[in-house]
Structure 1
Amino acid sequence: MNLRKINPLTLIAALLPLMLLIVLFELLPTAAMVMNSFLSDDGKQVTLQQYVTAVTNAFYVKAITNSLLISFYSSVVGIVLSLALAYAITRTSEATRTAVLTVSNMTSNFAGLPLAFAYIILLGNNGVFTILLKSWGWSLFDGFNLYSWTGLALVYVYFQVPLGALLLYPTFHGIREQWREAAALLGAGTLHFWRRIALPVLLPGIAGTFTILFANAMGAYATGYALVGGNYNLLAIRIGALVAGNVVTRPQLGCALAVLLGLMMVLAMWVNERLMRKVRRDLQ
């Protein structure tokens, strides 16, 4: 079909539902959130007080720090395991590859409340595996607490790995078998091939996937809320409590924290783009 022969009005009419969806469910809520973040608690004055509170109050600074740390650590562990899984997928048969990709696709979407409850049933204080291992006399999980930072990081890694594998799997297909054969003919060993040829090809995909995993962990709300509730101070949980809390609500402050959360994600993507641009320039 030649798009040049299509009436421009027809194209605009076809794109209108998508444009309307973007405006109603993305642009307008974002604009309202930004505007509310500059209002006082009573909503009558324009002020920067909400942002001042967000970056000076020790309670909210701790929430930002905790979210950054758990997002970073879970993304690092997730990217390492995802690399191994994605590479293993490329070395298997077609049937095994299809099965693993199908399972990875399902597990990457298994998050939120169902994931938290599944971990509570399996590894909680009275979980199936916890009681079973104790009955066998195993001390593998002695001192392990699912409702702590360690348990939360474990749950985060669970939904990071399949997502990372799905994103990195196409990247490994960019490494052609002919390159490996040509490198071997020129006397390059396996380590030299991966360091000089494969890694530069994979690096942009790895960095991009890490950014996505980091943003995915920063924005996770339901899993952390169901697992630790208010016992662990996370930015997403604090935003939810301020906007729809049971005791005291401060939606304007919640909007300011949400804007800061969005800016941190944008900053992470910008840093990733700058680094990848430098890498591509150095490789040329």
Structure 2
Amino acid sequence: MRKIKKQKIYLFALLLPFIIFVIGFEIGPLVAMIKNSLYADDGITVTINQYLTIFKSKFYLSGIKNSLIISLISAVVSVTVAVIAAYSFTKFSSKIQNRLLMIANMTSNFEGIPLSFSYIILLGNNGLFTLLFAKLGWDLFADFNLYSWTGLILVYVYFQIPLAVMLIYPSYQGIKQQWKDASSLLGGSKASFWFRIGIPVLLPSIVGTFSILFANAMGAYATAYALVGSNYNLMSLQIASLVASDVTLKPQLGSALGVLLASTMILAMWFNERMMRRIRRDLR
């Protein structure tokens, strides 16, 4: 018993720096943000007017709506592409698979300002590909505008797909060859195997990946700011303009928006947990 207690104390001591880190850099700022959102602009009067201002303003509601739509679209597209891409990875040798995963891992970290700048160089109004195709007489980008809704989704999807591949790929390792052989012996086709066995097994991973991508897109700031600046109404850009702007500095209102953003992410994760429980229960 004493030995077990010593081991627990030792493990707790090892976890203590991580616990302090979580409290200091995650829980602490979250509590401060919630507290700050309940103050008026003077920072003294306790009120819920900041939330009332958000829900009464078409501008802020439009930003929330735009963020939700772009997050949903980018998450759906990224998950769909990632399911196909991760399956294609399994068809290569283990050596090539490791290299492809290394590229996906490296690409998943290429986001923010460098990614937006790369897209501007390649597909901007005076981008490399834009001018190249124009000289060749191919007007491929006549109706395409990088600094628009379409360009924003394109950039979001780019950095979401590698992350989705990294999250979904391990699930394919759980699909055993014996299952495919058994399905074939029972007269099942490849399509019936994937619809009846493969996809249900992958479904928890797909749903979990979707919720992560949705939350990742909702909180993305640097990528959108570098690409469209303040020309597009997104929730993350609104928060930054209220907290760090020299013109419309309203940190209390920005904190209220931050609370709503965090609540949306928590709600997405809660929905994901409920869906995964139901899926696992049905699979049993």
TM-score bracket for this pair, using the shorter chain length: over 0.9
Where does residue 235 of structure 1 map in the other structure? 235
Number of equivalenced pairs: 283
Where does residue 164 of structure 2 map in the other structure? 164
Answering whether residue 226 of structure 2 is matched by residue 226 of structure 1, we say yes
Counterparts of 1:241 and 1:41, CA distance in 2: 15
Where does residue 59 of structure 1 map in the other structure? 59
- Identity of matched residues, %: 55
Where does residue 4 of structure 2 map in the other structure? 4
Where does residue 143 of structure 1 map in the other structure? 143
Amino acid at match of 1:173: Q
Counterparts of 1:62 and 1:173, CA distance in 2: 42
Say if 1:128 and 1:183 are closer, same or farther in 2 by CA, change over 3 A.
Answer: same
Counterparts of 1:67 and 1:261, CA distance in 2: 10
Amino acid at match of 1:275: M
Counterparts of 2:174 and 2:9, CA distance in 1: 39
**TM-score normalised by L of structure 2:** 0.97
Counterparts of 1:182 and 1:8, CA distance in 2: 46
Deviation at 1:78, TM superposition (A): 0.4
Counterparts of 1:272 and 1:13, CA distance in 2: 33
Counterparts of 2:10 and 2:213, CA distance in 1: 38
Where does residue 186 of structure 1 map in the other structure? 186
Answering whether residue 175 of structure 2 is matched by residue 175 of structure 1, we say yes
Counterparts of 2:19 and 2:275, CA distance in 1: 32
Counterparts of 1:8 and 1:144, CA distance in 2: 60
Stretches of structure 1 lacking an aligned partner (at least 5 in a row): none
Stretches of structure 2 lacking an aligned partner (at least 5 in a row): none
Counterparts of 2:175 and 2:124, CA distance in 1: 42
- Root-mean-square deviation (CA, aligned residues, Å) is 1.4
Where does residue 198 of structure 1 map in the other structure? 198
Deviation at 1:184, TM superposition (A): 0.3
Where does residue 84 of structure 1 map in the other structure? 84
Counterparts of 1:172 and 1:261, CA distance in 2: 33
What per-residue deviation string (whole Å, max 9, x for no partner) do you get for residues 246-274 of structure 1? 21210000000010001111111111222
Where does residue 13 of structure 2 map in the other structure? 13
Deviation at 1:279, TM superposition (A): 2.1
Counterparts of 1:253 and 1:30, CA distance in 2: 15
Where does residue 270 of structure 1 map in the other structure? 270
Counterparts of 2:167 and 2:12, CA distance in 1: 32
Where does residue 33 of structure 1 map in the other structure? 33
